Amino acid sequence: MSHPNAGLLAPPESVAPRGRSLAPDLARGFMLLAIALAHIPGFIADWDRGPSGLNAAADTARVLLFDNQARIMFIFLFGYGLGQLALSRAAQGSDWTDIRKLMRRRAFWLLVIGFLNMVVLVPLDFISAYGVTLLLFAGLVRARGKTLLWTGFTVLAAAIALSMWTEIEQLKQIAAGSQPGAGIDFIKDDFGAHLLLGLTVFPSKALGSVVMIVPAMVFGLWAARRRVLDEPERHRGLLRGVALGFLGFALVARIPYTLMQTGVLDADTGTIGWLATAGHSLGGYAGGIGAAALVGLIAIRLARRGPFTTAVAALGQRSMTFYIFQSAMFLVLYYPFMLDLGGTMGLAGSFAVGIGIWVVSLALAEWMRRAGHRGPFETLLRRLAERR
């Protein structure tokens, strides 16, 4: 049921925040691995370099498991975090006016941080797009549950249509004999050209993803309102149904497009191609949300945290910091004016590097936890957003 006063002004005691929960942080920690594996192939000039079998397996995993799906999990958890913050402030006595101002200040500084990440590091940033979306739709943080669901499903139709159009264009490239995503043109030979490109693409990147963000964000808000991941034991049935149903649907629905992208089937740009892209796009939303639900179920079994679980949760608590850390590593490893590894490895090699970056992130996050250090970008965002 929706909370009194539109769900935020006076949250009932049964859903008031009770400290940091494992499942959301665990989900964010694993999400960073999926994001690394989704992004890193774009820095490789020739995906076929190296062992053909391993490259084919990596390519299949890329399309089936990570493309769009990792991003949707990221967005869902972003919305969930907004809901957690709003509930926490409401429980502390803040009214909607104060919460709305906090959200808008937070959105503005997300936009600034995302701008710097996109221009200085790599132009793949979504932080700025989250900032724009929150600026435009801050009112949804207060919306009732039914409003969130209606908004999510309505905008989802537009988001799927936009994604389908993009993926059909990729199938056209494949049919023409090119390799979409490989050897992409945002990698420049010198740092000056790199900065200029970031400035050029920032407006389209920041604004172009808003429609794609809104559905998963509001579903995350809806889930946070009910503390689905904060109290997974109370929502075991819902989590099990979403994890099994959504992930099962995503796996089946994304297979046809995966087979076309990987060359097993001919790339079709007619009716079959459009149906395949529809399945891949809708499956991305289902799979991203289903993956978050699966981590919620896993968290139930990990009530006693081992060293690995603790480290992944520490990484999730610092997800913005280590998302930006990934961008910095991509710049250092793959750009021509840095180490320029993009022309020396294939897709499987790039996946190994992505996993390596995640492992290093895991170790650094655990060190920060033991030393009592919060994520520097999380701390910065909080201080900036809470300044009057």
pLDDT digits (tens, 9 = 90+) for 369-378: 999 999 999 9
- Tokens representing residue 266 in the block: 């001919």
Specify if 7 maps to a domain.
Answer: no
Q: What is the structure's pLDDT at 3?
A: 39
Evaluate whether residue 375 is within a structural domain: yes
**209 is in which domain, residue-wise?**
16-386
For residue 354, give the amino acid letter. G
pLDDT tens-digit readout, 76-88:
999 999 998 888 8
Q: How many domains does the chain have?
A: 1
Percent of the chain past pLDDT 70, that is, above it, reads 91
Beta strands in 23-79 (DSSP E): none
pLDDT tens by residue, 304-335: 678 898 999 999 999 999 999 999 999 999 99
**Identity at 60, one-letter amino acid code:** T
| pLDDT for the residue numbered 176 | 72
**Residue 2 included in any domain:** no
| Tokens coding 181 | 């995503």
In a domain, 5, yes or no: no
Q: Residue 1 falls within a domain, yes or no?
A: no
CA 80 to chain centroid: 12
Within a domain: residue 9? no
Give the mean model confidence (pLDDT) for residues 52-68. Answer: 88
Check residue 303 and give its pLDDT.
66
Question: What are the structure tokens assigned to 213, written together?
Answer: 């963000």
Nearest one of 39, 133, 142 to 78, comparing CA atoms: 133
Residue 64 lies inside a defined structural domain of this protein: yes
Report the C-alpha gap between 381 and 114 in whole angstroms.
11
Q: Is the pLDDT of residue 42 over 50?
A: yes
- Is the distance from CB of 126 to CB of 71 less than 8 angstroms? yes
Q: Whose structure tokens read 């289902």?
A: 286
Number of C-beta neighbours around residue 42 at 10 A: 18
Closest C-alpha among 282, 300, 166, 291 to residue 231: 300
CA angle 296, 128, 17 (to 5 degrees): 35
- pLDDT of 225-265, one tens digit each? 999 998 888 999 999 999 999 999 999 999 999 998 888 88
Quick check: is 286 in a domain?
yes
